[in-house]
Amino acid sequence: MSAYLCNDEHFDALATWATRRGPHGSTFRYRFNDEWHTPDAAKIATTLHAQNVRSVNHRYEESESPAYRYRAVPLDCIDAKDVLMACAGLEYQSCETPDWEETEAFAILSAIRKRAIHVVTENSRCWNISKGILCPPRPRAMPRSEGERSPGYPGECPEGMSQSAWLAMNNVD
């Protein structure tokens, strides 16, 4: 596995997006060491940057410490789907240390991801999946006359199978 230091804009964009007002006016927060934290964007960005540096240094047995300073980016520059991919990319570059899942950066990135998922799925009807949501029933398709079939009709029933089982298997009421 390889690792590299993400560019400054990567950290800037994630931190800016995370600290904007969330759905229903919520404030960004994460849980770390059994406490809730509500950091500002600079704290988020510098924590993510520091872990990315730690990861690269661990991977390549280096001790680099590049400077970084948070700069806000315009909020319309990144959407929730971009945030999800940016989280995946940063996680891949930051997970080289053996304690990755116990770091504050992991907790922050997990909370950013959770917020982005909430935004992406906000209008979903799938909190509880049911047959009607998973496979909406198709209109009933019946043969019009001998040899002529309506759209959606699955065709002739295979030998040895009941007509009702064949129609049910093909999602025809």
User: How does pLDDT run across 59-97, given as a tens digit for each residue?
Assistant: 999 999 999 999 999 988 789 999 999 999 999 999 999
The answer to whether residue 78 is domain-embedded is: yes
| Structural domain boundaries, residue 165 | 136-169
Q: Which position has the token pair 């770390």?
A: 32
**Structural Rg of the chain based on CA atoms:** 25
CA 157 to chain centre: 42
Distance from the first to the final alpha carbon of the chain: 51
SS3 99: coil
Spans of the chain, pLDDT less than 70:
22-23, 125-127, 129-155, 157, 161, 165-173
Per the structure, the count of domains in the chain is 2
Domain-located, residue 3: no
Residue 128 is assigned to a structural domain of this protein: no
Q: Are residues 113 and 48 in the same domain?
A: yes
pLDDT of 78 reads: 86
pTM of the model: 0.73
* 109 shares its domain with 144: no
